[in-house]
A and B are shown apart, each in its own frame.
Chain A
Amino acid sequence: DVKVTQSSRYLVKRTGEKVFLECVQDMDHENMFWYRQDPGLGLRLIYFSYDVKMKEKGDIPEGYSVSREKKERFSLILESASTNQTSMYLCASSIGQGTIEAFFGQGTRLTVV
Chain B
Amino acid sequence: AQSVTQLDSHVSVSEGTPVLLRCNYSSSYSPSLFWYVQHPNKGLQLLLKYTSAATLVKGINGFEAEFKKSETSFHLTKPSAHMSDAAEYFCVVSDLGDSWGKLQFGAGTQVVVTP
Q: Assuming the A-B contacts A41-B107, A42-B108, are A48 and B102 also in contact, with contact meaning beta carbons closer than 8 angstroms in the complex?
A: yes
Partner of B100 from A4, A56, A104, A107 at Cβ < 8 Å: A56
Closest chain A residue, CB of each to CB of B108: A42
Contacting pair B100 A50 (CB below 8 A): yes
Contacting pair B105 A42 (CB below 8 A): yes
Q: Does A84 have its Cβ within 8 Å of any Cβ on chain B?
A: no
Which residues of chain A from 14 to 69 have any CB-CB distance to chain B below 8 Å in the complex?
Answer: 31, 33, 35, 40-45, 48, 50, 56, 58
Q: How far is the CB of A32 from chain B (nearest CB, A)?
A: 10
Contacting pair A42 B90 (CB below 8 A): yes
Q: How far is the CB of B84 from chain A (nearest CB, A)?
A: 19
Task: Indicate with 1 or 0, residue by residue over B1-12, a CB within 8 angstroms of chain A CB atoms.
Answer: 000101001000
Q: Assuming the A-B contacts A43-B90, A101-B34, A104-B44, are A94 and B101 also in contact, with contact meaning beta carbons closer than 8 angstroms in the complex?
A: yes
Interface size on B, residues (CB 8 A): 25
Contacting pair A101 B49 (CB below 8 A): yes
Interchain pairs with CB closer than 8 A, number:
59
Q: Does B32 have its Cβ within 8 Å of any Cβ on chain A?
A: yes
Partner of A44 from B36, B44, B105 at Cβ < 8 Å: B105
Give the residues in chain A near B4, CB-CB below 8 Å. 42
Q: How far is the CB of B106 from chain A (nearest CB, A)?
A: 5
Partner of A102 from B6, B9, B103, B106 at Cβ < 8 Å: B103
Q: Does A106 have its Cβ within 8 Å of any Cβ on chain B?
A: yes
Q: How far is the CB of B30 from chain A (nearest CB, A)?
A: 12
Which residues of chain B from 1 to 49 have any CB-CB distance to chain A below 8 Å in the complex?
Answer: 4, 6, 9, 32, 34, 36, 42-46, 49
Task: Indicate with 1 or 0, residue by residue over B55-87, a CB within 8 angstroms of chain A CB atoms.
Answer: 000000000000000000000000000000000
Extra inter-chain contacts (6) besides given A92-B103, A101-B49, CB under 8 Å: A43-B90, A94-B101, A97-B99, A102-B103, A104-B43, A104-B45
Q: Which residues of A contact B (CB under 8 A)?
A: 4, 31, 33, 35, 40-45, 48, 50, 56, 58, 90, 92, 94, 96-102, 104-107
